[in-house]
Copies of this chain bind each other. A is one copy, B any other.
Amino acid sequence: MTTDTQQQQQQQELTITRYEVCDIRFPTSKHLDGSDAMNKDPDYSAAYVIFYTNDTRLEGHGMTFTCGRGTEVCCSAIEALAGKFVGRTLSSLTVDMRQTHQICTGDSQLRWIGPEKGAIHLATAAVINAIWDLWAKHEKKPLWKLIVDMTPEQFVQCIDFKYITDALTPQEALDMLKANHPTKAQREQEMRNNGYPAYTTSAGWLGYSDDKVRRLCREAKEQGFTYFKQKVGGDKASDIRRAALIREEIGSDGVLMMDANQIWDVQEAIDWMQDLLPFNPLFIEEPTSPDDVLGHAAIRKALYPKTKVATGEHIQNRIIFKQLFQAQAIDYCQIDSCRVAGVNEILAILLMAKKFNIPVVPHAGGVGLCEYVQHLSLVDYICVSATIEDRVLEYVDHLHEHFLDPVVIKNGCYVAPLAPGYSITMKRQSIDDYSFPKGRVHNE
């Protein structure tokens, strides 16, 4: 029973009063931005959720990234989850973020349509990230700073260790965080001064002409980038020609990364890469199915150390990441901010990567992903990895204009964001204009 006093107290506390779900689609396929061997014509989209509160100045925003069709499925999944948070005070959620995460992942009926994968897990990311955004805004801190200011105990308390204790125990996590705790302030200052190093994918899309690739490489170099990514796997002759061209533009000092977007079977990946090794790629990204832990291990074994293996943007959850680490299947861990269940699960993956000594090189691009992941790389460096050696953060120069607090790149680095929240709040005009199917843009 709730007494009158408790009711009054609750009225004063920040409380989620309602939510809104938006299906937002940008018609990017018109210009072949984002075209690769698997994703021929993505319309970068967001299944977007807003939690409104009893304080009209405070809203929690979150989204999961999608590619056009199917966004409505993720929106339906968000609807299934978001209602669980209406009526909850923020403090009742933030007091135990592990439990808050489990509100989404632990629904005994909803888990059937996952568990912890696919549309329901993408939706979980949107919802969980919106709670984190609300929390950070309420604390008047950027998301990364909210987490950096946690004690190691508070950090560990955010993580659901279910199914990963054979790779990482809560005590091991705590010990790693404690070891870095005393030097956090120093790394935070360094990040505030210099930012986090970035690389660009903007030049390497399959759908661009050779001339456009050349021009974009030059522009990127001028902006201070030293890592470049090429999409491969469409046509081998074209891959070779394009690799030579990019290598020519970026010189032998430039770092070339290749990305096959899951186009190959295991042996096919090994064979195809033989012809691209002369161009000295740092890694081949997504050589095969993201579900194939043993396949990645086989590919890595065949190619290492001539090139290395990276994956992550389609890795469905911490359990697959755990196995990729255990099987020595990857050299680079490319976390995605909203493929797994948002901040909480990301923290688990950062810690496992640290334990297995695998650098975290986040996936970004699409819409909103750059805004999200800059926070995660800062948390990784300041709290977990304590090194930026062999680490860069993906950057793609698309669609940032729709955010209230867009990413800022300076000298090839992400500038540490300072506005409160998770940087994912979209402008209302953009939400309205690009809402599908009724927004202005879709009816022109």
Contacts and interface: CB of A to CB of B under 8 A. Distances in A.
B108 A40 contact: yes
B292 A323 contact: yes
A326 B43 CA distance: 37
Contacts of A108: 38-42, 67
A317 B294 contact: no
Interface in A235-280: 262, 265-268
Given A77-B73, A80-B69, A118-B118, A111 B295 contact: no
B320 A291 contact: yes
A107 interface: yes
A288 interface: yes
B69 A107 contact: yes
Interface stretch (A13-21, A119-127, A185-193, A423-431): A119-127
A323 B296 CA distance: 11
A70 B293 contact: no
Contacts of A292: 163, 319, 322-323
A318 to B, nearest CB: 9
Given A291-B316, A293-B323, A166 B118 contact: no
A176 B19 CA distance: 55
A289 interface: yes
Q: Quick one: copies of this chain in the complex?
A: 2
A327 interface: yes
Interface string A107-121: 111111111111111
Tier of interface size on chain A: 35 or more
Nearest to A294: B323
A298 B166 CA distance: 10
Given A118-B121, A165-B265, A326-B294, A289 B319 contact: yes
Contacts of A112: 39, 42, 66-67, 70
A118 B113 contact: yes
A391 to B, nearest CB: 26
A314 interface: yes
Interface string A400-439: 0000000000000000000000000000000000000000
A72 interface: yes
A66 B77 CA distance: 14
16 contacts: A38-B108, A67-B110, A73-B76, A73-B80, A73-B119, A74-B113, A76-B76, A113-B118, A113-B119, A114-B118, A117-B118, A118-B121, A163-B289, A165-B266, A291-B320, A294-B327
Closest 3 interchain pairs by CB? A118-B118, A119-B119, A67-B112
Given A42-B109, A70-B110, A76-B76, 14 more contacts: A40-B108, A66-B112, A67-B109, A69-B109, A70-B109, A73-B73, A117-B117, A117-B316, A118-B118, A118-B119, A118-B120, A166-B295, A292-B319, A293-B323
